[in-house]
Amino acid sequence: MKKKNFRIVFAAAALLGFVLANLTFAQTQSQQPPEYKEVVAASRIQDLAAKIKELERIKAAYPTTQYLSTIDSWILAAKIDLSDSLEAILGLQKEFLTKGKGPDLVQAPYMAADQIVSHPKLKTFDKAKVLAAVLGYKEAVLKAVASPEALQGIPLEQRNSFKTFFSSGIDVLVAQAQLNTGDAAKALASLESYRTAGGTVDGQYSYTKAEALVLQGKTKEAYEAYLLAATENYAKSAEKAKELYVKLNGKADGFDAALEAKLKALPYHPEEFKPEPGWKGKAVLAEIFTGSECPPCVGADLAFDGLIESVPADYLAILEYHLPIPRPDPIMNPATKKRQDYYGVNSTPTIIIDGDKKLVGGGSRGMAEGKYKEYRAGIEARLAAVPAVALKAKASRAGDAVKVEASFDKVVPGAEYYVVLIQREEKYKGSNGIVFHKMVVRDLAVLDPAAPKAVTFDLAASEQATDAYLTDFEKTSTRFQNFKFPERHAKIDRSKLGVVFFAQDKETKKVLNAVVAGVK
């Protein structure tokens, strides 16, 4: 089984097809080139020889396709996986490496090292030659990362993180090659270098560390590292963590609970929130558009979980919308679609702060802390403002009816007043490994400021509307023909409800203020 390298997904998504899925989502069917469906279908072929043949056919039929570099990288990856020797792999990589320009000067040798250490026939290769090849690729990465040419096209503000990402990340691949030789001490030293250089604790790092600790006989430490890797579904980490759990405890009872607790826990410690004196009542609205099938959404989702945990609701209102990007999501509903269209969101994760600050891009679980700090800085910078309107809300439930009474001190010209029904937590494990989804939007309404200031949500009707929306998606989606949701999440948990009331300028989309209320 080939390991799931989420760092590779994030850094070189074109090779794995994730960019293809996201970029084309933004295109209408009329904008998609004629070969699009053929490329997508070819990417899903499991038989590698058949996959290569089909991709070569597409190249010949569409020599100027915009997906040419992606197709070439898929062909190369398939040929490498089919190779029986390290020499054959190095030969294939040599030609590809000579074509690199710009950021590819860094990414190509990094990917080449990963292709070797994650190869299905790695154990049959000469171990010393494998290590030598990976060390050679490390040298190429470090040389390229110091070259101005490799940074061409990368925004200035992202160059330092780009360099750190690859110059440190290659040490994890070196550690895997060292482990392949049986040298656990050197592998752990390489992993320590990775962390010292700013590398994040992601699934690949944790799994590699666990493997080294096992070789050293450190069972408890290895178990903890495997368990952490299991939160990202990395390789066989959950299976190996369970084996060590049984070894430590004599039985498997309790392992599932331990894994669930690890999944629910944040991979970092959020900073304590200290409100500035003289706060004038401004609450920030932070909205996240995410997807349970989106690997780079993990870092953003967990960053928002940290915001929920550390910033009181008096100062911060959070709304989470699920979208079918890059794959269908059973938590999506008509309300999430409305807000997607309102902002014109076409990729996940997308974060919008107070309606007028848009942040895109995510990362792995190990990158959550960095994202948390980024989002929190953007939020705290707005809290000192004088709010354009003062808002109040209270909500109560009787059966399936949730009544929200909202009030404001003035009607702001050009503003709309939104009432959003949220569910504080929904449990569902998609392919990206996130299990607990927070502040999930279930329904929304626009309040008429001239009418009585009350909104009633019919929970049964909201559930029916969501179920119908999911059914319609199955029937009408052109991107996912004949798709059926294996499970649906239209049901609303009555015990975990809340509401968010906010005012937003129609023209600028700037959020004027927000308030959060529980449902009694």
Give the Cα separation of 75 and 61 in Å (integer). 16
C-alpha angle 498-499-503 in degrees, rounded to nearest 5:
160
- Between the ranges 43-47, 264-268, 514-518, where is the mean pLDDT highest? 514-518
Q: What is the DSSP string of 56-83?
A: HHHHHH-TT-TTHHHHHHHHHHHHHHH-
Strand order in the sheet with 316-322: 357-360, 350-353, 284-290, 316-322, 436-447, 415-427, 497-505, 511-518
User: For position 379, what pLDDT does the model report?
Assistant: 97
Alpha-carbon separation of residue 367 from 199, 265, 267, 363, 453 (angstroms): 9, 15, 9, 6, 42
Strand order in the sheet with 401-408: 391-398, 401-408, 454-458
In this predicted model, what pLDDT tens digit does every residue of 1-19 receive, in sequence order? 344 444 444 444 333 333 3
In this predicted model, what pLDDT tens digit does every residue of 436-466 receive, in sequence order? 999 999 999 999 888 878 999 999 999 999 9
Task: Answer for the pair 501, 512: CB distance below 8 angstroms, yes or no.
Answer: no
Phi and psi at residue 14, in whole multiples of 5°?
-60, -35
- Beta-carbon count within 10 A of 418 CB: 21
What 3-state class would DSSP assign to 316?
A: strand
User: For position 6, what pLDDT does the model report?
Assistant: 41
Q: Which amino acid is at 109?
A: P
Position 236 pLDDT exceeds 60: yes
pTM of the complete model beyond 0.75: yes
Put residue 198 in one of left, alpha, beta given phi > 0 → left and psi -120 to 50 → alpha: left
Return mean pLDDT, the chain.
91
